[in-house]
Amino acid sequence: MAPILTVTNLTKKFSGLVAVNDVSFSLNQGEILAVIGPNGAGKSTLFKLISSFLRPTTGKVTFEGETISGRAPHAVARKGVVRTFQEATIFKALSVRDNVLVAHHLRSRAGLAGFFLGTTRARADEAEFARSTDDILGFLGLKDLADAEAGSLPQGHLRALGIAIGLATNPKVLLLDEPFAGMNHDETMRAVQLVKGVRDRGVTVMLVEHDMPAVMKISDRIVVLNFGQKIAEGTPSEIQRNQAVIDAYLGSEDESIGI
């Protein structure tokens, strides 16, 4: 499998604190890669660096052979690398449908003026976005809630809507930051199936997650961070047996790798 995205010697310092320290790995086309590690290990920072919300101190991120670090975040999203946020992030005052519709924008072929004037091309765009929105909402089980105000959704649906917004951009790589946080066991298992479904739609997925059973179930490969450094990389079964990983998790109080 060819790598679609490569992280090379990535380092991010925050006034003295090294949040991500010389991390390198690559993401293969069509896989689900999990990034795990104790709280404060630098996972969210890593995602922000990849999606170019942060500029790396040193190192770089390449996507389909092109360097994307240092570009504007919206430009990176247009290339096909899109992240969702750790905190369930949505457009609260818009309806569920409008949340997804508006996230289609980067796919539009008409310009802004075209949308204002309602040109043929703009109308074609709108029709296509509406169709795609219905499709995504159906896929994520949000169809019945399409007209609800997004801010009023319960936690589980919020996460799904976050993923729906991500899918609307038609990404090649989707970065999910703790997609199962705040879900109970059943919800998590359903969400795991959803994420697998996302991958089956041809999207390469990278996710940060604390729920170890879910991680073991869902991921093809795992990268482990601790204090900003990559301490291990491998298949779920390799990671479960890795001594450095076990030590890291035993060293921290509030985490357990569940093995």
Ligand X SMILES: Nc1ncnc2c1ncn2[C@@H]1O[C@H](COP(=O)(O)OP(=O)(O)O)[C@@H](O)[C@H]1O
Nearer to other proteins, 5 or 245 (CB): 5
Which spans of this chain sit near other proteins (rule: CB under 8 A)? 51, 53, 72-74, 77-78, 82-85, 89-94, 98, 101-103, 105-106, 108, 112, 115-116, 118, 122, 126, 165-166, 168-169
Token pair 């976005």 is found at 129
Total chain residues near ligand X (CB under 6 A):
11
Give the one entry of Mg ion, ligand X, other proteins, none that residue 122 binds, where binding means its C-beta sits below a cut-off of 5 to 8 angstroms depending on kind.
other proteins
Q: Crossing angle for the helix pair 185-200 and 155-168, nearest 10 degrees?
A: 10
Under 8 Å CB-to-CB from 139, ≥6 apart: which residues?
167, 194, 197
Element (H, E) at 250: helix 243-251
Minimum distance of ligand X from residue 209's CB (angstroms): 11
Q: How many CB atoms lie within 10 A of CB 142?
A: 23
Please give the helix or strand (H or E) that residue 143 lies within, else none: none
Q: Which is nearer to ligand X, 40 or 236 (CB)?
A: 40
**5 near ligand X (CB under 6 A):** no
CA-to-CA distance for 40 and 21, rounded, in angstroms?
A: 13
What distance in Å separates the CA atoms of residue 248 and residue 259, rounded to the nearest whole number?
A: 13
- Does the footprint of ligand X cover residue 82 (CB under 6 A)? no
State yes or no: residue 50 binds ligand X (CB under 6 A).
Answer: no
CB 212 within 8 A of CB 223: no
Of ligand X, Mg ion, other proteins, none, which one does residue 139 interact with (CB within 5 to 8 Å by kind)? none
Distance CA 206, CA 24 (A): 15
What is the smallest separation between the CB atom of 84 and other proteins, expressed in angstroms? 8
Measured distance CA(47)–CA(155) in Å, rounded:
22
Question: What type of residue is 232?
Answer: A
93 binds, among ligand X, Mg ion, other proteins, none (CB under 5 to 8 A by kind): other proteins
Interface residue with ligand X, options 21, 45, 84, 242 (CB under 6 A): 45
Residue 206 is a binding residue for ligand X (CB under 6 A): no
**Per-residue x/- mask for Mg ion, residues 70 to 99, rule CB under 5 A?**
----------------x-------------
Q: Which of 10, 41, 44, 195 binds Mg ion (CB under 5 A)?
A: 44
Tokens of residue 129, six digits? 């976005």
* Cα angle 128-131-136, degrees, rounded to a multiple of 5: 120
45 binds Mg ion (CB under 5 A): no
> 1 touches which of ligand X, other proteins, Mg ion, none (CB within 5 to 8 A by kind)?
none
Binding residues for ligand X (CB under 6 A): 14, 17, 19, 37, 39-45
